[in-house]
Amino acid sequence: MLSVIRQAKESAGAPGARLRARWSRRRLLEKLAGIPGVYIPSFYSVEYNKNGGVQSFTALRPELQSCVRRRLAPDLNDAFFPTAPVVPLAEAVHERGMLEVFRGCTRGCRFCQAGMIYRPVRERDPRTLLRQAREIIDKTGYEDISLVSLSSLDYSDLDGLLPALGDQCTLSRTGISLPSLRVDSFSVGVAQKLPGGRRTSLTLAPEAGTQRLRDVINKGVTEADLLEAVAAAVAAGWSAIKLYFMVGLPTETQADLEGIGDLVRKAQRAGRSARGGKKLRFSISASSFVPKAHTPFQWEGQLPRQQLTESHAFLRDLVKSSGADYHWHDIKTSFLEASLARGDRRLAEVLFEAWRRGCRFDGWTEHFNFDLWQDSFRAAGLDPEFYAGRRLSYDEVLPWDLIDVGIDREFLVREHRRALAGVATADCRLGSCEGCGVCPSFGVEPRLVKASR
């Protein structure tokens, strides 16, 4: 098995041609192992300790580094981006062209893996983006283009990009969409001006119900931001709003769950007064917190299923009593996610057992069979609770320590401690370096088209 760690296009060019050469499998793996960013699992062994955790990794060949460092493209303007993807004839899930405005979100939400492992922020020039958008429109025929970065409206030169992009889309009546919106009135205002907007439902993600907990997770959103965003959405013609929350976040108390209910009621009031007394439709979606590798919350455990079930039931009653819809992610799925998200190599056996027992399309509720997964863990002699629920200590070796994404461990520890103390950390887009370590370790810098606003 072979894994190329991140930004495959950066490292794939060289071996691509040689892969076709008639080397033995062994020889091929040896050659590939010499390419930075390529991880050959069979060239490393993992030793486990008596507590069930990882004791150490050993590189089995003298020429190998002790861990595999990811590759990154310092300048996305020269990096490959597909502008003529396959366009399916049958209806697919993401039926739109994708424009990657930048890579690397530096907002620093402490639960978010993508926000850590894709650092630093690297924006594409408006010129590059306009050219790519042109190609996508011409070559796919898609009716919409979506700006798919993690928080696309953080792009530093929106004023330079959006009007020109809008002009470019006029002739072909291509719509521009945003997968998610930052929670503030500015974003809603921008979204309103984009062409092709269907004013049906707007999605905002405050993630937590109280300011305290939002500071813990470093989601830089206030109640005022949300209420202004709701008012702006009404003014812009939206008639329904979806709010996303997470349940079971570290340090969460009953007060935080009640806070979600309060926040929903306040948002409903703000919506109603902005609509002149007419009710605004709210639907609340809640997922269960899943601790992820390479994030400040990687040491946290997931709450027991029983407790998550009670929290969701409590929230459902609370939210429904104020007349909003409540949807939540299946707790068993979230539990399985958590047990895989912080897993080690031994889980390969579980995956194989699950496959052998017929687990397929597990993301679809009608196909998901939790019992088969439990059987698979049992067959492999492993306990899913151990992976999902266990609180890890700072000094233990983590199964993913073999992969170096460039973020200092000390930074993650510091962020975790600040989280527990409820202290927020600023976005390095705004000029201050918070010392995550990725820039010095790769010899790169954040790449913003325009100096911070």
Partner 1 sequence: MVEYRIEYSKTGRARWLSHLELVRTFTRALRRSGLPLVFSRGFNPHPRLSYCPSLGVGVAGLREYLDVDLAAAMPLSEGRASLGRQLPPGLEIGCLMELPPEAPGIGKTVNCAWYRLALPPEQTVDTWQQAIDRLVCGSDPLYYKRPKDGKLFDVRSGLAVCRLTEVGGKMSSVLDLLVDFGEATAPLRGIVETLLPLAETAGSYEPARVTRMALLHQNGGLVNPLGERKQLWET
Backbone phi, psi, residue 325, to 5°: -80, 150
CB of 236 to partner 1, least distance (A): 12
Which of residues 133 and 227 has its CB atom nearest to partner 1 in the complex?
Answer: 133
140 binds partner 1 (CB under 8 A): yes
Cα angle vertex 300, ends 294, 304, to 5°?
130
Work out which of 31, 131, 139, 242 binds partner 1, going by CB under 8 A: 139
CB of 3 to partner 1, least distance (A): 34
CB of 238 to partner 1, least distance (A): 12
Work out which of 197, 304, 422, 435 binds partner 1, going by CB under 8 A: 197
Work out which of 198, 277, 361, 395 binds partner 1, going by CB under 8 A: 198
289 binds partner 1 (CB under 8 A): no
Q: How many residues bind partner 1 (CB under 8 A)?
A: 18
Question: Would the CA dihedral through 11, 14, 16, 18 be positive or negative?
Answer: negative
Work out which of 77, 172, 180, 273 binds partner 1, going by CB under 8 A: 172
Which of residues 175 and 189 has its CB atom nearest to partner 1 in the complex?
Answer: 175
Which of these, 279, 278, 283, 292, lies nearest to 250 by C-alpha position? 292
Residues 241 and 264: their CA atoms lie apart, in Å, by 11
Whether 425 contacts 415, CB under 8 Å? yes
138 binds partner 1 (CB under 8 A): yes
Strand pairing category for 97-99 and 54-59: unpaired
Angle between helix 331-341 and helix 305-321 axes, rounded to 10 deg: 140
Instruction: Name the token pair of 285.
Output: 């979606």
In this structure, what DSSP letter does residue 243 have? Answer: E
196 binds partner 1 (CB under 8 A): yes
141-170: which residues touch partner 1 (CB under 8 A)? 141-143
What residues are paired with 144 via a beta bridge?
175
Whether 150 contacts 98, CB under 8 Å? no
Question: Would the CA dihedral through 285, 289, 291, 296 be positive or negative?
Answer: positive
87 binds partner 1 (CB under 8 A): yes
User: What is the helix (H) or strand (E) element at residue 122, kind and residue range?
Assistant: strand 122-123
90 binds partner 1 (CB under 8 A): yes
CB of 128 to partner 1, least distance (A): 22
Which of residues 166 and 196 has its CB atom nearest to partner 1 in the complex?
Answer: 196
CB of 96 to partner 1, least distance (A): 11
Q: Which residues bind partner 1 (CB under 8 A)?
A: 87, 89-91, 137-143, 172-173, 175, 196-199
